[in-house]
Amino acid sequence: MTELAVKQCETSGPDARRLIAENAIRQQIARCNSQAGKYSGPVLVMSEERLRQNVRGFMAAMPRVRPHFAVKANPDAEILRIFKEAGTYFEIASIAELDAMIELGVDIGTIFYSNPIKSPASIKHAAAHGVVWFAVDTPEEIIKIAAIKQDAKLYLRIEVSNEGSAWPLAGKFGASAKGVDALIEMASKQAMQIAGVTFHVGSQCTNINNWVEGIRSAKCLFEKLHDHGFSPELLNLGGGYPLQFTGDEPTIDEIALEINQALLGIPDSIQVMAEPGRYFVGSAGCLISQVVGLATRDDQRWLYLDTGVYGGLMELAEGFPSIMVSQRTGETEIWTVAGPTCDSIDVLGKYSLPRNTEVEDLIFMPNLGAYCTPCASTFNGFPAPRMTMVG
């Protein structure tokens, strides 16, 4: 086989996907093992090289799509610095996230304020610092922005299917077809410009069709906006690009194939961007936690870790895909894994771990670079996981 043919075999199909998933997870576990000797409390081991790889992979797969990292996925200053250096732009949702951008020295005009609901104080703060782009999905929000920044560039967040997303967002945000009409009417009345369209397919989305449908809806909306005298210049594909846990998830190249195809229908005058959060940071971070206690209650084996729902593992408790690997090898059994706090909701779920697990064993949890440390608290006096950057 030629080199190109080999490469094609390696990058598509279920076997190739499984291999990619396994390799990524093996690398994360290896990085954790190299840090295990220094254990002094829960720690997220973050790989700088993997962060850069994720950015490169995304950009190479979708050359027309400018990535704006969704800061909420992990606002760590060093991560933001690495992404800026790697050539990504940013998406924010709050004053604190904007302040992180100012600190980082980002050109504020390139920042997208994609939270559809913003307090007047945060709109003022953003406008004062030069933010131009503001997402809206209700007429009420247009009135709020009009009073503070009349020359803002609004982009409409439309509703799209979140089917096949591990963490759906539909319902809370996104204008329906009727809602869009109300937005157009209000923007005209307030003499505000609608400059773009956005959607969010939900997080860890494994259904590529949601992006394709979103692009199709945006294309129709562009025509409608033109009919109403607006000049749209932006298509924002939002976030949702998934991590590989089992290899059943589509790879970024597989998603790109269909997104790139769908974008052929979008004129060159439209700037296309996306807001990857989880995809950029998730696979770069593996959490190390330690077993603090074991119990047998009514024949059920319980395993208590030094971090849990309040230590940044809320998604696990909600049934989000997750993997736990023990430092110890051997025959496994099903354990009910829980966090260290006294709260009954601090239970993570059932995991297959070694039968001979002992207190002080280390447990590695790959793919937790996103939405773990940023969500952690010190409830009940247990330390939130630290982050450590490795090569």
Ligand X SMILES: *Cc1c(COP(=O)(O)O)cnc(C)c1O
Residue ranges that bind ligand X, judged by CB under 6 A: 70, 72-73, 91, 114, 200, 203, 238-241, 275-279, 370
What count of other Cβ atoms lies within 10 Å of the Cβ of residue 39? 16
Q: Using an 8 Å Cβ cutoff, are 161 and 210 in contact?
A: yes
Per DSSP bridges, beta strands 271-274 and 65-70 are parallel
Tokens of 103: 């600190």
Instruction: Provide the minimum distance between the beta carbon of 107 and ligand X in the complex, in angstroms, as a whole number.
Output: 19
Which residue number, 17 or 118, has a Cβ lying nearer to ligand X?
118
Which residue number, 196 or 277, has a Cβ lying nearer to ligand X?
277
Which residue number, 241 or 335, has a Cβ lying nearer to ligand X?
241
Instruction: Provide the minimum distance between the beta carbon of 255 and ligand X in the complex, in angstroms, as a whole number.
Output: 12
> What is the 8-class DSSP label of residue 341?
S
Measured CA to CA, the distance from residue 361 to residue 325 in angstroms comes to 11
Which residue number, 67 or 340, has a Cβ lying nearer to ligand X?
67
Instruction: Provide the minimum distance between the beta carbon of 24 and ligand X in the complex, in angstroms, as a whole number.
Output: 17
Tokens of 58: 């995304």
Per DSSP bridges, beta strands 43-47 and 386-390 are parallel
Instruction: Provide the minimum distance between the beta carbon of 83 and ligand X in the complex, in angstroms, as a whole number.
Output: 13
Residue with tokens 């913003």: 118
Which residue number, 114 or 357, has a Cβ lying nearer to ligand X?
114
Which residue number, 247 or 277, has a Cβ lying nearer to ligand X?
277
Instruction: Provide the minimum distance between the beta carbon of 240 and ligand X in the complex, in angstroms, as a whole number.
Output: 5
b (16+ CB within 10 A) / e for 274-297: bbbbbbbbbbbbbbbbbbbeeeee
Which residue number, 240 or 385, has a Cβ lying nearer to ligand X?
240
Radius of gyration of the chain (CA): 22
Amino acid at 113: Y
Beta strands in 179-331 (DSSP E): 193-198, 203-205, 234-236, 271-274, 285-297, 300-305, 325-326
Which residue number, 117 or 292, has a Cβ lying nearer to ligand X?
117
Which residue number, 213 or 343, has a Cβ lying nearer to ligand X?
213
Instruction: Provide the minimum distance between the beta carbon of 92 and ligand X in the complex, in angstroms, as a whole number.
Output: 10
Helix (H) or strand (E) holding 273: strand 271-274
Per DSSP bridges, beta strands 271-274 and 347-354 are unpaired
Instruction: Provide the minimum distance between the beta carbon of 198 and ligand X in the complex, in angstroms, as a whole number.
Output: 7
Instruction: Provide the minimum distance between the beta carbon of 251 and ligand X in the complex, in angstroms, as a whole number.
Output: 15
Tokens of 292: 């603090």
Measured CA to CA, the distance from residue 317 to residue 214 in angstroms comes to 30
Measured CA to CA, the distance from residue 12 to residue 73 in angstroms comes to 27
Q: Using an 8 Å Cβ cutoff, are 285 and 389 in contact?
A: no
> What is the 8-class DSSP label of residue 342?
S
Instruction: Provide the minimum distance between the beta carbon of 110 and ligand X in the complex, in angstroms, as a whole number.
Output: 15
